[in-house]
A = this chain, B = another copy of it.
Amino acid sequence: MTYCLGIINRFGIVMAADSRTNAGVDYISAYKKLFDLSLPGERVIIICASGNLSVTQGVITRLNRDIQNQQETNLHTLPNMFDVARYIGEKGREIQSIDRSWLEKDRIDHSCNFLLGGQIKGEEPQLFLIYPQGNFIQATKETPFLQIGETKYGKPILDRTITYDTPLNDVAKCALLSIDSTMKSNISVGPPINIIMYETDSLVIRNTLQLRLGDPYLAKIRKLWEDSVRQAFESMPNIEWQYKLEDSTDDILID
């Protein structure tokens, strides 16, 4: 499994991913899922990938190859982020059109999702989620984050804390905790964690971090977080219990 998330707000973009890939539960390995395809000073393009590894690697390789071969259309020539999102979706469709029928024969999941975050000079920063079908949606102020892969365990912390006005360093800490929560609840999500923080209008990535298994910072924030959660419990008012409300054989239906 995989867990990747992107968060965008007035201060910039944070993107993060775990690195665990599994074929069943008995073949676990580490693959990078967070890619920086920027042209520093001109455009920042960050991509996260989840899903069938052969498909996602195929897409990333094609994206890189088009840049290296100086194809007329590539990530560094497309005029805006919307077109970049569509172009990534098309790369996914290309691979699916070649491989899909072969994978389907053996009931192998061929789907893949991408997060695309970045900024092209002259535009606002933008964040997209590109679906296996090649279509895509964009994050807005109302819901400034997008997730792919094992999304549920890490969502409550985002729902409760992230707004369009959260300072970017707090956004990054929240992203780490969202991934850490997911790792704790699902062993198919695991380190190293890769995280990138991009500040609006800088047009270069200045902040990246890779946290490996046993990294002291990861251990420290996990401990601090768990201590804070426990303290929060203790400081919360006790439940004011009602006496028994209902007879055991009452109606099943309540209003």
Q: A208-B242, A233-B161, A240-B217 are in contact. Are A19 and B248 (CB under 8 A)?
A: no
Per-position 1/0 for A217-229, Cβ under 8 A of B: 1001100111011
- Taking a contact as CB atoms under 8 Å apart, the answer to whether A169 and B235 are in contact is no
When C-beta atoms are compared, the residue in chain B nearest to A37 turns out to be: B248
Binds B, one of A87-95, A96-104, A173-181: A173-181
Contact of A152 among B36, B153, B192 (CB under 8 A): B153
Among residues 95 to 135 in chain A, which have CB atoms less than 8 Å away from a CB atom of chain B? Answer: none
Which residues in B have their C-beta under 8 angstroms from that of A241? 197, 206-209
The answer, yes or no, to whether A61 is at the interface (CB within 8 Å) is yes
A-to-B contact residues, CB < 8 Å: 19, 30-32, 35-38, 57, 60-61, 64, 67-68, 152-157, 159-161, 169-170, 172-174, 176, 181-182, 184-185, 192, 195, 197, 205-210, 217, 220-221, 224-226, 228-246, 248-249, 252-255
Which residues in B have their C-beta under 8 angstroms from that of A184? 156, 159-160
- Taking a contact as CB atoms under 8 Å apart, the answer to whether B230 and A217 are in contact is no
**A-B residue pairs in contact (CB < 8 Å), sample of 11:** A30-B255, A32-B252, A154-B156, A156-B182, A156-B184, A169-B239, A172-B239, A197-B241, A206-B244, A208-B241, A208-B243
Which residues in B have their C-beta under 8 angstroms from that of A248? 35-38, 64
